[in-house]
Structure 1
Amino acid sequence: MAGNKAVVYSKPGSVEVRNTDFPELVLKDGPGVNPLNVGRKCEHGVILKVVTTNICGSDQHMVRGRTTAPSGLILGHEITGEVIEVGRDVEFIKKGDLVSVPFNIACGRCRSCKERNTNVCLNVNPDRPGSAYGYVDMGGWVGGQSEYVMVPYADFQLLKFPDKEKAMEKILDLTMLSDIFPTGYHGAVSAGVRPGSTVYVAGAGPVGLAAAHSAQLLGAAVVIVGDLNAERLAQAKSFGCETVNLRENSDLAGQIDQILGSPEVDSAIDCVGFEAHGHGKAHGEAPATVLNSIMEVTRAGGSLGIPGLYVTGDPGAVDEDSKIGTLKIRFGLGWAKSHTFVTGQTPVMKYNRDLMMAILSGRAQIAKAVNATLISLDAAPQAYQDFDRGVSRKFVIDPHGLVK
């Protein structure tokens, strides 16, 4: 069998495309692999020829050096591919199937999985509940920004597209099912978005744009997106969102009041996470900014969806507390307003099938919303740099040149 090329984190600020081993149905030792997972047999898994794999903002946290990710870690948790090899214990997934891979790795056997909380599977990461491909402290499952990748628990996890040819026609939309679309949708659902809602989305990166589009799908009357980046705000405006530029005007409640006639919204979604910045032209990093601001502008009794990533270890944080994920949030304000908070990884399998049908029917236009931009595997290092500079694009890697 041929070799394999993959995008590898080399050092803070740098990724490289390297030759690596062709995957097998076993988790071998390597950068970031938990010692207790080394040698784990995966006859319940498959080998995929990667059709598309996306660069995620969560990857950027590692590449910036804001986690304890080791050099040599193969990146990538947003994977869509064609099955080319099936393990002995795989019964229903077949060679040739085109599938979406949820970024959460889940066994299907533990209590969490049986309760549909596949984001906190108890059996795939020896360190803590929950796992993901190509991510720090997630058990060491090899990432999918590569030509080929191994995926465990295939019968349980994989979402098969019903018509391969039609799926390829909408692959730039369907590739978003592995993470970004369900994550944005989960943020909107967690925030209680419903027909007629007014919604504030903090962050106009790809997840924020996905959350905004999801809020529209759920029937929101007005979706307001806030960011410091004018280009990203223009992208939000392109599909019908109202926008607030927090670099030019730090008064979030005042800007919302100008749009709605009220300084509060029914629901708010944090799509920024732990690298949040303060507002205004002289803004600096202030990791609790978004959490505090969404409590301020959400009405009493409202809900806050928090799909933005927060970590327990951040070596580049602005203070010692933030290095261990301790943030100065106004929890008393949230308590006084009876807010509901929903945090954590998105349980992708709760949503991906319904969202697939929304895409195939033409109801959802997620690729357009997030400005999906196709690139080759070799172009990934430059795309990481462009994404880090704040371009309003969702980069989709096509390792084999299969996408028309």
Structure 2
Amino acid sequence: MSVYADDAAGIVAELQELAILLVEDDPGDAALVAELVGDAAGLRMHWVRSIADAGEYLTSQVPDCVLLDLHLPDAQGIQALARIHFHTDVAVVVMTGLDEERTGLAAVAAGAQDYLVKGRVEPELFGRSVRYAVQRKQAERATVALQASQMRAQENARLERGLLPTPLLPTGSAVEVISRYRPGRDHALLGGDFYDVVQDHAGLVHAVIGDVSGHGPDAAATGVALRLAWRTLLLSGIVGMRQLQLLERVLLAERADRQTFATATTVVLDPVARTAWVRRAGHPGLLVHSGEELHWLEVPGGPALGFLPEHAQWPSHELPLPIGTSLMLLTDGLFEGCVNADKDRLGEQGLLELARGMINPAPERFVDDLITRVEDLAGSAGGLEDDLAILYLRCRPEAS
């Protein structure tokens, strides 16, 4: 913002009418304050005689500033300030006597924005003090909000590292992996999308992509737990049906409520045999990309994790991968977004048609262009409603 814009904002703040609540039990002092308010431009005042009356007033009204006497029939000193803060978070200016300047300083240290000495305040100083107190309170709120936003961003970054790790592949792996993630409309609420890729000692590449229902820290934490559990199970040699059964047990133990579920697709890819084995637990299908051909594939699968505990079955589907064939695993955020003001959804078929019009021999370019196009469509309808994650897997041509 320019200096001139800052000056303009200050002028607007100076001209804005401010509502003041005076908490004062002495009618004489209240009359003096009323005169100061009358002489200072842009101020209006409501007077109450006690903290109890102030609390009742504040249940239905929100003033810009509270002028608070520290000697009231139902509260004294800093206790009076604490009780006002209990009722409201607006600016507070305390009123002290001639011999109570230290009390005023103590009140400022306890959270008041300023203090004024009764009988020693001119109208101009009075109005300026009230406005500065309101501005300081606004700056304080902005600082607190910024700190909270920064902390939330740091927490989200840590959760994202748990949800979206670096694939565990050796240098020169026979399988190329492209991973992408985009947050939804409200970046403050991280979703439960997760993925991981690991190559085992036999050269098989294992991948998982999943989505925990809901948003926020609970969904993200559950997604992190599932992703870590998947990698731990894999490194322990547990794969296939047993792996999904144990992942479901982890979900049941970690979920915040009984309604939480998770979808997942696991893939075991053999780059030498050029074959993949796919298991689907309530998760969307995948895009199969071969040369100029692109089609949507939903292999037979079972329910989402958490739907039928101890009873679900997730069959394995064998999928040949001729040279040049790639698999793109994704979460539903890529096709569930709205594409126009009428709130029409893109859908799986819409995503397929969109992708067919953007086929590019360079996999990274294809993935990035597809995400950009989906984001552009969602932008016209208010932005992505959900997070989206993508895993693009391709056997390198030289693999044998």
The normalised TM-score by structure 1 is: 0.25
Instruction: State the structure with more CA Rg.
Output: 2
The normalised TM-score by structure 2 is: 0.25
Instruction: Name which structure has the greater RCO, CA cutoff 8 Å, separation 6+.
Output: 1
Higher helix share: 2
